[in-house]
């Protein structure tokens, strides 16, 4: 067997701990070092990973020559700064979603990665799911003909605040559309790739926080594609449990996937995947449970293989740029109350970046 791919980890909050565990437990990877700012988090990291160097400054981590790839799990506003430093230090990058909170920042990350021949992988781990990835496999097998419509809906309990309350600080989170709906924009774009690129987004949102309208608990968007196909992405954060439904309709049938549990990281979810048309319905069976921690483990292994073999990760930087772009275009639509043209939005962002 080849030597393990050596990982550094920046960030050790709630999901950073899951990254650390997944990297440490994977037979294809070695967790070499963790960097985290807080004294308490460093103590937690040392307790859980006594064999790993735990540092206060991420710059010390990326300067090491015994690390191949760095997993970055920090508040959204830091993604560009930290990701850029990782790439300029000659390391491959696994960036938790969103790739960045500005389109220009995504473009700079991609440019620097290309210059250094480095991989950028983005943490849309649902692509690895036997359930959500199973939907894509059925589409690619042609069981519904040409895809025309996707509906992906999330209903869940309110967000946890995150370290130092960052998730409820709009300056640090970017916007809530970049938090959860971004996963479902990624799936919708992936499922409907046969429909061409997205051309426009129309979105609406409301907040249950009377004094914080930017915290969009309820959100829905329609994404139009080049060939007339369209997707609906919808969520509420004012409910209970964690429940996702995806329905993909094509010229020859429908795929219907469901997942539900008390929490996204629950180890005992209920889930199903069916497809058919009319009275002819087929049920897909699964050998094991599916959930985001299972998929995170698979993502770590897949990124390691991409680094070792020079292939593509499950979700590339270009994919991550698209999901960020759709979220930002949706946010513009919420602000204006009008559909956002993707081409016009990109042009305006490019003009703003050029004039900065």
Write the secondary structure of the chain as one string of H (helix), E (strand) and C (coil): CCCCEEEEEECCCHHHHHHHHHHHHCCCEEEEEEECCCHHHHHHHHHHCCCCEEECCHHHHHCCCCCCEEEECCCHHHHHHHHHHHHHCCCEEEEECCCCCCHHHHHHHHHHHHHCCCCEEEECHHHHCCCHHHHHHHHHHCCCCCEEEEEEEEEECCCCCCHHHHHHCHHHHCCHHHCCHHHHHHHHHHHCHHHCCEEEEEEEEECCCCCCCCCCCEEEEEEEECCCCEEEEEEECCCCCEEEEEEEEECCEEEEEEEEECCCCCCCCEEEEEEEECCEEEECCCCCCCCHHHHHHHHHHHHHHHHHHCCCCCCEHHHHHHHHHHHHHHHHHHHHCCCEEHHHHHHHHHHHHHHC
- Residue 158 shares a structural domain with residue 18: no
- Residue 32 shares a structural domain with residue 121: yes
Residue at 356 is within a domain:
no
pLDDT of the residue at 172 = 80
Residue at 354 is within a domain:
no
- Residue 231 shares a structural domain with residue 273: yes
- Residue 167 shares a structural domain with residue 260: yes
- Residue 136 shares a structural domain with residue 284: yes
Predicted confidence (pLDDT) per residue in 212-258, tens digit: 888 899 999 999 999 999 999 999 999 999 999 999 999 999 999 99
Average pLDDT over residues 291-306: 94
- Residue 285 shares a structural domain with residue 309: no
Residue at 14 is within a domain:
yes
Crossing angle of helices 181-191 and 317-336, rounded to 10°: 120
Residue at 320 is within a domain:
no
pLDDT category of residue 88 using cuts at 50, 70 and 90: very high
pLDDT at 66 over 70: yes
Residue at 319 is within a domain:
no
- Residue 163 shares a structural domain with residue 118: no
Q: Which CATH number covers residue 276?
A: 3.30.360.10
pLDDT at 352 over 80: no
Q: Which residues constitute the domain of residue 28?
A: 5-125+295-314
Q: Which CATH number covers residue 117?
A: 3.40.50.720
- Residue 271 shares a structural domain with residue 331: yes
Domain count, the chain: 2
pLDDT category of residue 1 using cuts at 50, 70 and 90: low
- Residue 336 shares a structural domain with residue 303: no
- Residue 41 shares a structural domain with residue 186: no
pLDDT at 47 over 80: yes
Residue at 41 is within a domain:
yes
- Residue 195 shares a structural domain with residue 336: yes
Residue at 109 is within a domain:
yes
Predicted confidence (pLDDT) per residue in 148-169, tens digit: 999 999 999 998 887 778 888 8
Residue at 349 is within a domain:
no
- Residue 117 shares a structural domain with residue 242: no
């Amino acid at each position: 067997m080849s030597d393990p791919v050596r990982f550094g980890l920046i960030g050790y909050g709630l999901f950073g701990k899951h990254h650390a565990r997944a990297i440490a437990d994977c037979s294809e990877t070695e967790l070499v070092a963790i960097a985290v700012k807080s004294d308490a988090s460093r103590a937690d990291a040392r307790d859980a990973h006594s064999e790993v160097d735990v540092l206060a400054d991420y710059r010390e981590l990326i300067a090491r020559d015994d690390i191949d790839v760095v997993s970055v799990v920090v508040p959204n506003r830091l993604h560009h700064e930290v990701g850029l430093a990782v790439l300029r230090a000659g390391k491959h990058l696994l960036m938790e979603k969103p790739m960045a909170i500005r389109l220009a920042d995504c473009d700079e990350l991609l440019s620097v990665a290309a210059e250094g021949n480095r991989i950028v992988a983005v943490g849309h781990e649902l692509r690895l799911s036997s359930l959500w990835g199973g939907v894509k496999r059925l589409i690619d097998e042609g069981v519904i003909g040409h895809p025309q419509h996707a509906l992906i809906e999330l209903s869940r309990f309110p967000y946890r605040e995150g370290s130092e309350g960052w998730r409820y600080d709009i300056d640090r989170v970017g916007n809530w559309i970049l938090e959860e709906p971004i996963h479902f924009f990624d799936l919708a774009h992936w499922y409907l790739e046969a429909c061409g690129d997205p051309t426009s987004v129309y979105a609406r949102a409301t907040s249950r926080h009377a004094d914080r309208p930017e915290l969009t608990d309820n959100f829905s968007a329609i994404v139009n594609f080049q060939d007339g196909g369209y997707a609906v992405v919808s969520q509420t954060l004012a409910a209970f449990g964690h429940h996702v439904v995806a329905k993909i309709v094509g010229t020859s049938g429908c795929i219907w996937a469901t997942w539900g549990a008390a929490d996204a990281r629950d180890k005992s979810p209920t889930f199903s995947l069916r497809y058919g048309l009319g009275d002819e319905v087929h049920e897909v069976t699964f050998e094991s449970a599916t959930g985001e921690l299972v998929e995170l483990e698979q993502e770590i292994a897949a990124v390691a293989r991409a680094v070792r073999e020079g292939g593509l990760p499950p979700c590339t930087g270009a994919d991550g740029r698209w999901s960020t772009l759709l979220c930002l275009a949706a946010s513009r639509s919420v602000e204006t109350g009008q559909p956002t043209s993707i081409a016009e939005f990109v042009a305006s962002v490019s003009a703003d970046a050029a004039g900065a």
